[in-house]
Structure 1
Amino acid sequence: MPVRKVNKFDIIKQALNLFRTQGYHRTTMANIGTACGLLKGSIYHYFTSKEDLMRSVLEVLREHYREKVFVYAYDEQLNSEEKLKLLGEKCIDVFANGEGACLMANIAMETNNVVPEFRKPIKGFFDDWVDALTHIYRERYSDDAALFFARESVCAIEGAAMMMRIYNDKNYLLKAHEMIMGKFEKASKEALMS
């Protein structure tokens, strides 16, 4: 196999795709090397182990969500409905189009009891997501209620993403987003009436 020049991010990107499609345990460093056009041993110039590479994948993915998805929750140019709508649409796009879709939840389920060092970055990702939604919901709810509805929304989207994958039907995600928006809009109307 001809060896080509790649950088650390190229390896992370290929590893993300393989971990997403094959899972953590079924993906080997040799698979990643092949996907990158590298010999397996060349990856060790960048990462000390598969666990080290996976941690980097999780960190890059978390940062991507912070910068490209969760950021809408904090955009003060938008009202709360616009923030929630945009955040939901971005999540749907990411989940439906495969870019890191379900990876955090899948890796959590696959490795939780086997590779506990992945818990921290995975938990951090979900904390970021809940924090973003809580920030939006606080505009309509008490702090406790906002946190509750944020967690409920993450569960609804993650569950819908799983169903979408099982049934190959994006409507599960769309309906979950509609449900979340409907509940938020109802709370907004009730707040205006009181």
Structure 2
Amino acid sequence: MPRIKTSKEAVLEKVIHTIRKKGIGNSSMSELAHECGIQKSHFYYYFDSKEDLIKDVLATVNSYMGYNMNKILSNSSLSTKEKLQALDKLIYKLFLKNDGGCVMANAALESAHANPLYFDEIKLFFENFIAGIKQLLEENQGVQQTQELAEQIVQDIEGGILLMRVYNNAKYLKNAIARMYNLILQ
């Protein structure tokens, strides 16, 4: 393979596409290098290991999403409707237009049990989700038992997502969300 100069950012962009389609476990460093048009040893110029590469992939996706969402939401020249339309375009670009869906969700599902290096970031996601639900419960019901109920709601929603995917039927997620409304608004 000819010697090709490429930037770390260009490598990450190509790796993100491959990881989104094939997953972390199904993407060897050799295969990723081939997809990038570089030699495997070139990865080690930028990354000490595959784990470091994946950490940078996740950080890049987070950074890209955060930057673009902030850019949309902080634009005072846009109306609320225009901000929603811009956010719609961003979500379409990130999660629907690309083969394989959301690289973050795919990485979370694939690595939750297999790779503790990514587990802290996944736990943080669920902790924030539970904290948000807990805050909604406290606003309407007070503080008693809200932590346990918030955990139950998040578990129900995540189970609804899983069953929706397995059975290709949105009723499971819709039912979980309806139960969440009932529990929070009771």
Using structure 1 for the length normalisation, give the TM-score: 0.60
| 1:168 alignment partner in structure 2 | 168
How many matched pairs? 159
| 2:116 alignment partner in structure 1 | 116
Aligned pairs for 1:77-156 (under 5 A) are 97=96, 98-99=101-102, 100-109=104-113, 111=114, 115-156=115-156
| 1:79 alignment partner in structure 2 | none
| 1:76 alignment partner in structure 2 | none
- The DSSP-based 3-state class of the residue aligned with 1:101 is helix
RMSD: 3.7
Which structure would you say has the larger RCO, counting Cα contacts within 8 Å and 6 or more residues apart?
1
Partner Cα distance (1:64, 1:156) in 2: 30
Asked if the contact 2:130/2:154 (under 8 Å) is kept, the reply is yes
For each residue in 1:70-119, what CA deviation from the matched residue of structure 2 results, as whole angstroms up to 9, or x when unmatched?
xxxxxxxxxxxxxxxxxxxx9xx89x85323353243113x1xxx33333
Asked if the contact 2:47/2:53 (under 8 Å) is kept, the reply is yes
Aligned-residue offset at 1:60: 5.0
Aligned pairs for 1:1-194 (under 5 A) are 3=4, 5-8=6-9, 11-12=11-12, 14-16=14-16, 18-19=18-19, 21-60=21-60, 97=96, 98-99=101-102, 100-109=104-113, 111=114, 115-184=115-184, 186-187=185-186
| Fraction of identical pairs, as percent | 25
Which ranges in structure 1 are unaligned for 5 or more consecutive residues?
69-89, 188-194
Aligned-residue offset at 1:148: 1.9
Distance 1:118 1:146, change over 3 A: same
- The DSSP-based 3-state class of the residue aligned with 1:136 is helix
Aligned-residue offset at 1:65: 8.1
Aligned-residue offset at 1:168: 2.8
Using structure 2 for the length normalisation, give the TM-score: 0.62
Asked if the contact 1:164/1:170 (under 8 Å) is kept, the reply is yes
Partner Cα distance (2:109, 2:144) in 1: 25
For each residue in 1:155-175, what CA deviation from the matched residue of structure 2 results, as whole angstroms up to 9, or x when unmatched?
122212222222233343333
| Structure whose alpha-carbon radius of gyration is higher | 2
Distance 1:37 1:142, change over 3 A: farther
Which ranges in structure 2 are unaligned for 5 or more consecutive residues?
70-87
